[in-house]
A and B are shown apart, each in its own frame.
Chain A
Amino acid sequence: MATFRFLLRKLAADRTAALGALIVVLLVAVAIAAPVLSTHPEDVTEFHPPERLLGPSGDHYFGTDRMGSDVYSRILFGARITISIAVIAIGVSVLIGVPVGLVAGYYRNWASDALMRVSDIFLAVPQIVLAIAIAQTLGPSIENVILALSATYWPFWARLVYAETRSALNETYVEASIALGASPWRVMLLHVLPNISSSLIVRTTIGMGGTILTAAVLGFLGLGPPAPSPEWGRTIAESREFLPEAWWYATAPGLAIFLVVMGFNLLGDGLRDILDPRTRRSTDG
């Protein structure tokens, strides 16, 4: 608890990181309170064709879309989709990648080499390329987006934890606990894992931003949740045939993606400065 309070105080002192944290907290709040905050909550599923493509006004803050639904309300509900995709996809890839990395890093045998070679193969192409192929194969749905993102993201965590575990094994405190007869699991879970947790926290935060961007690309290509889902990437794709007249239709969801990713990136940078002094971004020279 004390460390948590220390973290909060440090974060509050770093203005840009605090801004990032604020954006992230706001995103979560908006996602939870979407039914209350939105002006037309029924528009997630309801259409009003006579009101289609109206410009921004007091009644429709960000105008209306091709079905006459309120863009502002749909973006708020879109936040729920974005958050659940990013949180679950990262959660699953961390849950697979971290144990794989720990075990492969601890034991030095052919099996750990094989595991790392498999993750190298995944890392040999940009994540989006394999994610697109998987999402396309499985068909457009929110579950399949999560599956595609997790299946292509776990090798990143395995690699990271593997490298950190290997270097931790050379540290005196780990050698000492092995010499004292600690079991492999005890060493991995009680000695190695706590010492790599801060770098895991930093990477998870920055990874949220990247995952949200990748998920938006899948949505944009039509591989995300199908219509009438208010997913942000899909909304941008839908808006294209109504440009340049309906500029609000394309602008609003993109701004939402931009703000959220920026929030996670700023927060991640700030956390890195606090938790991981080795890779300080050297803002102050």
Chain B
Amino acid sequence: MRALVLTVNRLAWFVPTLLGLLAITFTISHLIPADPIAFIAGDNATAEQIAALKAKFGVDKPIPVQLWNYVLGVAQGDFGVSLYTQRPIVDDLVGRLPATLELAFVSIVASAILGIPLGVLAAVRRNSWLDHALRVFTVSGLAIAAFWLAILFQLLFAMRLGWTPLQGRVDGWGPDVITGFFLIDSAVAGDWGVFRDVVAHMILPAVTLGFPAMATVMRFTRAGVLDAINSNYVDYQLAMGVPHRVVIWRYVLRNALIGTVTQLGLILGNLIANAVVVEAVFDWPGLGLYAVNSILQSDYNAIMGFTLVIGAVFIIANLLVDVTHGLIDPRESH
């Protein structure tokens, strides 16, 4: 019941938070000293041409009116037109969302599959050479600049060894778009050549993004297992003759993972932040690359659209984390 109230309360703040975010990004983007309209119009544009362009993009009106029009548009799913691509921003964002989601999803799943068992292992053999080695690994994962790691990977595996493609998402056109997730689309089409190509393109960016995420997963799983391993129920089960392995992987791990799940919000935030630069390095056609390009071109409608979408994704993800937390930890609901 309490969990339900909390969820409803959080949902109620969803719209006001997004509105606030909108106001902040709008304020930021309208401080811009550079004039994107003059940039589009070119050096030889006449005053009339510039005025026509301003009217087209709605920037000839006072700022409060622009803000109001923008809010009205967003409410109807219209984020305005990109000053640079001259296409509706919603189309740009929706078209690029699957690339980012696919990459983020693969990275998170991989970091959980590797990070959870390694965290348990480090806790069970605490203070062994394995524990120390894994600790160096986790500390490095949180200290390394993602864009630098991405460049090192490119340097070694793509340029020197030639094992993986340098950048991009697929060679050629890629599979026919059904879901926008290339792994699924190529598998559905049964085109395993393209599937392998998609996997090859994905390895380096996914490892770059997954490394810090895995470090966080490992760190909290280890701490959680160490906390749970000393409790009475573990002693009890061991005394009852339940095998050590079963106690650890079935009972201790479930308790330990509660701590890891609460960190998912943090992991996701880091992942999104890293995705912006990692996509830029790997020329991965997702939201991050779109954001970097719009920033470099002062395309403020696109920057606002990106910020809002990321904010919405982030708030929803944190909400899901809270709900999951309530589900796997029954104590929460009392």
Q: A120-B17, A240-B151, A284-B127 are in contact. Are A258 and B28 (CB under 8 A)?
A: no
Q: Which residue of chain A has the shortest Cβ distance to B275 in the bound complex?
A: A126
Q: Which residue of chain A has the shortest Cβ distance to B131 in the bound complex?
A: A283
Query: How many positions in chain B have a CB within 8 Å of any CB in the partner chain?
Result: 56
Chain A residues, Cβ within 8 Å of B127: 283-285
Q: A217-B277, A254-B148, A258-B148 are in contact. Are A129 and B155 (CB under 8 A)?
A: no
**How many A-B pairs with Cβ below 8 Å?**
147
A129-155 interface (Cβ within 8 A of B): 129-130, 132-134, 136-139
B206-239 CB contact bits vs A (8 Å, 1 = yes)? 0000000000000000010011011000000000
Cα separation A138 to B27 with both chains bound (whole Å): 12
Chain B residues, Cβ within 8 Å of A120: 13, 17
**A126 and B20 contacting across the interface, CB-CB below 8 Å:** no
**B295 and A133 contacting across the interface, CB-CB below 8 Å:** yes
Q: Is A83 engaged at the interface, CB distance under 8 Å to the other chain?
A: no
Report A256 CB to chain B, min CB distance, Å: 10
**B143 and A258 contacting across the interface, CB-CB below 8 Å:** yes
Chain B residues, Cβ within 8 Å of A258: 140, 143-145, 148
Q: Is A105 engaged at the interface, CB distance under 8 Å to the other chain?
A: no
**A244 and B155 contacting across the interface, CB-CB below 8 Å:** yes
Q: Is A266 engaged at the interface, CB distance under 8 Å to the other chain?
A: yes
Cα separation A255 to B279 with both chains bound (whole Å): 21
Cα separation A214 to B145 with both chains bound (whole Å): 9
**B310 and A216 contacting across the interface, CB-CB below 8 Å:** no
Contact partner of A137 (CB less than 8 A), chosen from B31, B126, B152, B296, is B31
Chain B residues, Cβ within 8 Å of A138: 31, 33
Report B300 CB to chain A, min CB distance, Å: 8
**B298 and A136 contacting across the interface, CB-CB below 8 Å:** yes
Q: A220-B277, A221-B295, A222-B296 are in contact. Are A254 and B24 (CB under 8 A)?
A: no
Contact partner of A262 (CB less than 8 A), chosen from B20, B139, B229, is B139
Q: Is A243 engaged at the interface, CB distance under 8 Å to the other chain?
A: yes
Which B residues fall within an 8 A CB radius of A?
A: 13, 16-18, 20-21, 24-25, 28-29, 31-34, 123, 126-127, 139-140, 142-145, 147-149, 151-152, 154-155, 159-160, 223, 226-227, 229-230, 269-270, 272-273, 276-277, 280, 291-292, 295-296, 298, 303, 306-307, 310-311, 314-315
27 contacts between A and B (CB under 8 A): A117-B20, A121-B21, A124-B314, A124-B315, A125-B21, A126-B310, A129-B291, A132-B291, A133-B28, A133-B307, A209-B143, A220-B145, A220-B147, A223-B295, A233-B145, A233-B147, A236-B151, A243-B159, A250-B148, A250-B152, A254-B144, A254-B145, A254-B149, A254-B151, A257-B148, A261-B145, A285-B226
